[in-house]
Amino acid sequence: MKLLNPRGFGLASATVAVGLGLVIAGCANTVDGTPTVNQAEATSYKAEAATSSSAAAASKAAAAQAKAITDNCDPFRSTTGTAVDRYNDFVDAHDGQAADQADRRDGAANALDDAAHTVETRVNASGSDLPADLAQKFTDYIAAARGLAAEVRKMGNNSSVGPLNDASHKVNDALNAVRNACPTR
């Protein structure tokens, strides 16, 4: 059997003792004082975080508003254009005492109601993303179109055209208000 080498054992023991002593000595030192927050840096960080969050929310709101405006304004002309065409066909038939006057009357009234319903559905789907002033203009059109549809349904060969003309002016005013408020493309 081989005996331990006393020099090797001594050298290894001394190395371990010195290393252990260094670790203990290093951990024994303490730093005096009380930990504190750098208030200037903390305030700056909080301000930057709030600004970033606010900017993100504003950007999201602006994108939602732009989408709502596009979703309502872009199809408005084609949606209401059909109703205007059907109404004009009815007026021509009424003025000319055409045989298909009743059919054109019903077609005009239905087209006006359909346009009002379609516009109303889009406005409701947009909710608060649609600017309030523009939403009101669409709402005014909806009411005017339904009012004109009701007057169209009342028309017969000998009916007074006064109420029909009044309702038609309201629709034209509402159409123009929406078209003027919508961005041009």
Which of 14-28, 86-100, 141-155 bottoms out in mean pLDDT, i.e. has the lowest? 14-28
Percent of the chain residues topping a pLDDT of 90: 56
Q: What global pTM score does this model have?
A: 0.69
Domain regions of the chain by residue span: 65-181
CB 51 within 8 A of CB 90: no
pLDDT of residue 57: 63
Burial class of residue 155 (count of CB atoms within 10 Å of its CB; 0-12, 13-18, 19+):
buried
Which of 49-63, 97-111, 124-138, 171-185 bottoms out in mean pLDDT, i.e. has the lowest? 49-63
Higher pLDDT, 85 or 18: 85
Please state, as a whole number, how many other Cβ atoms lie within 10 Å of the Cβ of residue 80. Answer: 23
CB 123 within 8 A of CB 138: yes
